[in-house]
Copies of this chain bind each other. A is one copy, B any other.
């Protein structure tokens, strides 16, 4: 029934290739089906002004799509002269999500910027960015710990994300683009490795949903997130 032939509670194939660029402190190329995102974590030994002399660190994120990551070419945001509303929303979500899993005191007064650049898009780019972004962050922090710059691990719990939605009347896990463009209701769920919630965003465009549907989507998300945590663990072992 799903265009891809997947079961309603089936994720797309996940692959996470680590250390894909030679410059970044941490990096991975995450593929969730045909959605491919290059995630890098960049360390800087300085923090934003509001944290100076606080002893606390900061994690932030930026997001971008290559112009032809999509079916028809999009205008390059650098040439348009600003980041669009969707981009701004997504990168704020990624940053907030990753920070929820970080002990910023243990991190010390330094900043890690996670860049998530979509090389190819097929739905769910923000969720793939969170899941892959955490892997890049994990690798950068590992490097800091190995070097002795940090002694207590500041990453308290892995962070993953998945989308769910109602497609053709049926709640399904991990929407791809053909599903996403049809779904009247969908949501993004950000969770930790221990099943705690970080962010729930459910939204209807030209439609509404019931609390029962919300619970169903929530259940699918919990299943998907557990699998994503396992994939992260395998990639960073």
A interface, CB within 8 angstroms of B:
21-24, 27, 34, 38, 40, 42, 44, 62, 64, 66-73, 76-83, 85, 87-89, 92, 96, 99-100, 104, 113, 115, 117, 119-122, 157, 187, 192, 196-211, 214, 218
**Sample of 17 more A-B contacts, CB < 8 Å, known A85-B88, A100-B205, A198-B204:** A23-B69, A62-B76, A66-B115, A67-B115, A73-B113, A76-B78, A77-B78, A88-B88, A96-B205, A100-B204, A104-B206, A187-B200, A192-B208, A198-B209, A200-B200, A200-B201, A201-B201
CB closest residue in chain B, given A205: B96
Which single residue of chain B is at the shortest CB-CB distance from A65? Answer: B78
Closest Cβ of chain B to A123, distance in Å, is 13
Residues on B with C-beta less than 8 A from A218 are 211
Residues of the B chain whose Cβ atoms lie less than 8 Å from the Cβ of A77: 78
Give the chain B neighbours of A34 by CB distance below 8 A: 22
Q: By the criterion CB–CB under 8 Å, are B201 and A115 in contact?
A: no
**Chain B residues in 8 Å Cβ range of A78:** 64, 76-78, 80, 82-83, 87
In the docked arrangement, what's the CA distance between A116 and B23, Å? Answer: 19
How many whole Å from A230's CB to the nearest CB in chain B? 19
Q: Which of chain B's residues have a CB closer than 8 A to the CB of A81?
A: 81-82
Pick from B62, B119, B197: contact of A67, CB below 8 A.
B62
